[in-house]
Amino acid sequence: VLGIDPGLVATGYGLLGSASAGVAVLATGVITTTATLTLDARVQQVYDGVLAVLDRFEPASMVLEDLYAEYRFPRTALLMAHVRGVICLAARQRGVTLVAIAPGEVKRAVAGHGAASKAQVQQSVRRLLSLAALPAPSHVADALALAFTGYSRAGGRLAAAGVRP
Amino acid sequence: VLGIDPGLVATGYGLLGSASAGVAVLATGVITTTATLTLDARVQQVYDGVLAVLDRFEPASMVLEDLYAEYRFPRTALLMAHVRGVICLAARQRGVTLVAIAPGEVKRAVAGHGAASKAQVQQSVRRLLSLAALPAPSHVADALALAFTGYSRAGGRLAAAGVRP
């Protein structure tokens, strides 16, 4: 399961897979764009970067955060949506099943309650995935949280509190 | 000059080119998506449709409406932005120069003042381009208005009031 947290400046991804001990982090990374380039060049950078990840790891499914009604920064949200659009396209072109999960469900699955803070999510992701350090940057932490939630939903054998496979 | 008015349900386009008498409408159309499909399938439909238009007509430049700060329907705007993202990608992949023009500039160029109504824009587009009927649907009218503004900006020899080439 590949989790992706799209952003025009930086798009985080985190790939989880089954391991003998439960779930394992197979890859994480950030796709960045060149701030001096035009929007069309930047969405192409994200698109090419995501295609490269899909071609390298061949995940069966991709998890994105569902759209919600109100974003605090409308312009940032609109630019994020441009990036999310080309990521959806890349998934479609590679036959990767797309799953959109509401932010509240991610927080519940990872941290046990829907109002968990960003820091709590990061801590929970670290614990659930037995990471040596807090996942960083936040785009990667969010991508791992999404992947974890998708993995749990898909029936991953996970013993985390609050996770309903 | 290809004008495009992106939308998840329908994306309008209008292609203008130089003719002996000034400017000519070379093509117009609407790319629609299947409402029952998932978002990734729908953005792919728009992407494929736009690529087909670019490959058929090989325009030098593409004009989109610039993003603005406040949309009346945030969710619709976010979905439009997904579509706009894959259209930007298509332009980039085909080496088509992308131009974003503010709505106010389009209205000024077409109808003479920045607060023109949708109906006034439609009437002006009809007159400026010597169309037999009002351009419809509105996505096509908007696309033609964008293309006309881009054409004027690029120095098209147009005798319309309010147009500053």
Give the model confidence (pLDDT) of A105-139 as tens digits: 999 999 988 888 989 999 999 999 999 999 888 89
Query: Are A81 and B86 a contacting pair at CB < 8 A?
Result: no
Q: What is the DSSP string of B17-38?
A: EEETTEEEEEEEEEEE--TTS-
pTM of the model: 0.91
B78-136 per-position pLDDT tens digit = 999 999 999 999 999 999 999 999 999 999 999 988 888 989 999 999 999 999 999 88
% of chain A exceeding 70 in pLDDT:
94
Residue of chain A nearest B73, judged by CA positions: A69
pLDDT above 60: residue A52: yes
Convert the pLDDT of each residue in B23-51 to its tens digit.
Answer: 999 999 999 999 999 999 999 999 999 99
Contact B40, A88 (CB under 8 A): yes
Q: Show the tokens assigned to B9.
A: 């349900």
The nearest CA of chain B is from the CA of A21 a distance in Å of 34
Residues in chain B: 165
What's the residue count for chain A? Answer: 165
Residues A1 and A60 sit within 8 Å (Cβ to Cβ): yes
Average pLDDT of chain A to the nearest whole number: 90
Say if the Cβ atoms of B74 and A69 lie within 8 Å.
Answer: yes
* Contact in structure between B158 and B146 (CB atoms under 8 Å): no
CB A18 within 8 Å of CB A156: yes
